[in-house]
């Protein structure tokens, strides 16, 4: 087949179609869909039946970084601050100290079981040290796994925020592999710079993005998601340009925006939910194409040994030491240890040694790929079973919807009231997005001058308007009146 633009689009769209249909089918049998996308890419590759030769780590890395932007941003938008706030300390410690401990313990193990140097071993440990946001978000949400207490927000916060730490460690130890004359102490300034600038930039871009989204007046509702995508990429690239961690910045920015009142927020969330799934599929297909299965076979033995140590020793070690100062039942600590899914992120990070051209780059890439596959296959398929076994799962009827589920739900609210806005109300001449309306209530319609209009976040409230308000429960209207009067 000649590689024309049309043929590339044809093959790409067919791969997407096959992935979506096959993913829907195999989900019933408990096979993680992300793993399926990876295998479809491998089947389509040069060692598979498709025969597509793709050997471009630089392009794969670019696709990976773009995809991770969407996946992390979407996960951040869906993070409910009220759920995260009680476990913020635990999540931050897991995503920093936990990642560091996992990387170091695994690196030391790799050093003793392979012929890698200590820095090469720590580089491998760093690459696979973080849990994969794409894998955790998709498996927990697609399987609707309901967990007791604050386990689910803890896991989602950790997986969404620990990639930056793994990224910094990967860059740091890669630098030490290339420049072996440098000392370990030399990477500390890089770490502090990346994390501090990334955190500050995330907050700053979050606040400014909210202002831009709510103040700018676009003629078409469909342009608002495009605006948010633009702001997302600006946040990532500008933070990276000044030497900060772009992944940390976009996650913090997204968490902030997801907990604010935004114009056309429902449209934005729907768009990002779909794009995050698209990017997950594209990312796993691309990485599947990049891998040559015939090159993995020689490393399966050592890969399995390292993977088992990571799952059973390094990850639990990092979790238990990180959480030793927090009150948490032993069963919950074990479950957090088990949800240490490795997915596409380590494979993307493994392209950095390939592009740097270090001696053992190809071996590191193949081992990392094998670790990611075994992690999703072993841990991803058993999350529900282990949750029930450890008694940390909620019964079916007690499952809670996420913030996005509630916002995107099309089901009618339980209570309805008509509220007349008097001329003395402080809500007059304010946009709906500026009212601070409770999350579980909506203004479904406005009656103005005997005309019915469907409002959005940019709609300005006028005196003598009649608001038709829908709410989940009767007591929510107390907060509704409070928002309209302040």
SS3 string, 293-325, reads HHHHHHHHHHHHHHHHHHHHHHHHHHHHHHCCC
Fold of 412-485: Alpha-Beta Plaits (3.30.70)
Torsion of CA 459, 463, 465, 469, to 10 degrees: 70
DSSP 221-279: TTHHHHHHHHHHHHHHHHHHHTTS-HHHHHHHHHHHHHTS--TTHHHHHHHHHHHHHHH
- Closest residue by Cα to residue 124 from 299, 321, 312: 299
3-state secondary structure of 364: helix
What pLDDT was estimated at residue 409? 47
- Closest residue by Cα to residue 361 from 128, 164, 124: 124
Fold of 38-398: Na+/H+ antiporter like fold (1.20.1530)
Alpha-carbon span 138 to 142, nearest angstrom: 6
Alpha-carbon span 151 to 248, nearest angstrom: 22
What pLDDT was estimated at residue 454? 81
Helix (H) or strand (E) holding 22: helix 5-27
What pLDDT was estimated at residue 411? 46
Helix (H) or strand (E) holding 281: helix 265-290
3-state secondary structure of 369: helix
Which CA distances in Å does 441 have to 174, 432, 450, 474? 51, 12, 23, 10
Along the 486 residues of the chain, how does pLDDT read in single tens digits? 455 666 667 777 777 777 667 655 555 544 566 677 777 777 777 667 766 777 788 888 898 899 889 988 988 888 888 878 888 888 889 989 999 999 999 999 999 999 899 999 999 999 999 887 666 766 666 555 567 667 878 887 888 788 888 888 999 899 889 887 777 787 788 888 988 999 999 999 999 999 999 888 887 888 889 999 999 999 999 999 999 999 899 999 999 998 888 888 888 888 888 888 888 888 888 888 888 877 888 888 999 999 999 999 999 999 999 999 888 888 889 988 998 888 778 888 988 998 888 888 889 998 988 898 888 888 877 877 888 888 887 655 444 444 444 444 444 445 778 888 887 788 888 888 778 777 778 888 888 887 888 887 778 888 888 888 888 777 778 888 887 875
Delimit the domains of the chain by residue range: 38-398, 412-485
Alpha-carbon span 7 to 27, nearest angstrom: 30
Contact status, residue 379 vs residue 428, Cβ threshold 8 Å: no
Helix (H) or strand (E) holding 446: strand 441-448
What pLDDT was estimated at residue 281? 81
């Amino acid at each position: 087949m000649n590689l024309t633009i049309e043929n590339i689009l044809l093959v790409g769209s067919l791969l997407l179609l096959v992935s979506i249909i096959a993913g829907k089918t195999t989900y019933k049998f408990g096979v993680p869909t992300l793993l399926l996308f990876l295998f479809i890419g491998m089947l389509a590759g040069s060692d598979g039946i498709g025969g597509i030769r793709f050997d471009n780590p630089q392009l794969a890395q670019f696709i990976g970084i773009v995809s991770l932007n969407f996946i992390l941003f979407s996960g951040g938008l869906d993070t409910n601050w009220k759920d995260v706030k009680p476990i913020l300390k635990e999540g931050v410690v897991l995503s920093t100290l936990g990642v560091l401990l996992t990387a170091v313990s695994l690196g030391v193990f790799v050093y003793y079981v392979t012929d890698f140097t200590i820095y090469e071993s720590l580089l491998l440990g760093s690459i696979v040290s973080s849990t994969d946001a794409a894998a955790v978000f998709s498996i927990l949400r697609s399987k609707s796994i309901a967990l007791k207490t604050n386990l689910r927000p803890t896991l989602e916060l950790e997986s969404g925020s620990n990639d930056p730490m793994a990224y910094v460690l990967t860059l740091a130890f890669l630098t030490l592999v290339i420049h072996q004359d440098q000392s370990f102490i030399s990477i500390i300034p890089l770490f502090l710079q990346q994390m501090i600038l990334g955190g500050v930039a995330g907050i700053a871009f979050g606040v400014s993005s909210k202002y831009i989204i709510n103040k700018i007046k676009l003629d078409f509702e469909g342009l608002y998601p495009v605006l948010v995508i633009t702001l997302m990429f600006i946040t990532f690239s500008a933070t990276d340009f000044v030497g900060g961690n772009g992944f940390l910045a976009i996650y913090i920015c997204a968490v902030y925006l997801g907990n604010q009142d935004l114009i056309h927020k429902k449209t934005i969330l729907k768009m990002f939910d779909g794009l995050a799934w698209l990017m997950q599929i594209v990312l796993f297909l691309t990485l599947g194409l990049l891998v040559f299965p015939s090159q993995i076979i020689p490393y399966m033995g050592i890969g399995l040994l390292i993977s088992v140590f990571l799952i059973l020793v390094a990850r639990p070690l990092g979790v238990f030491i990180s959480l030793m100062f927090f009150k948490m039942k032993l069963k919950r600590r074990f479950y957090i240890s088990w949800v240490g899914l490795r997915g596409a992120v380590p494979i993307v990070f493994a392209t950095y040694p390939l592009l740097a051209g270090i001696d053992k780059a190809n071996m590191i890439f193949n081992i990392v790929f094998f670790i990611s596959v075994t992690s999703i296959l072993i841990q991803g398929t058993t999350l529900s079973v282990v949750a029930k076994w450890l008694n940390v799962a909620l019964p079916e009827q007690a499952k809670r919807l996420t913030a996005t589920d509630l916002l995107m739900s099309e089901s009618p609210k339980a209570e309805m009231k008509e509220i007349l806005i008097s001329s003395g109300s402080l809500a007059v001449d304010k946009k709906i997005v500026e009212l601070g309306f409770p999350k579980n209530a909506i203004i479904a319609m406005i009656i103005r001058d005997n005309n019915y209009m469907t409002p959005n976040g940019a709609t300005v409230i006028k005196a003598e308007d009649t608001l038709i308000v829908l709410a989940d429960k009767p007591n929510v209207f107390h907060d509704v009146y409070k928002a309209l009067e302040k």
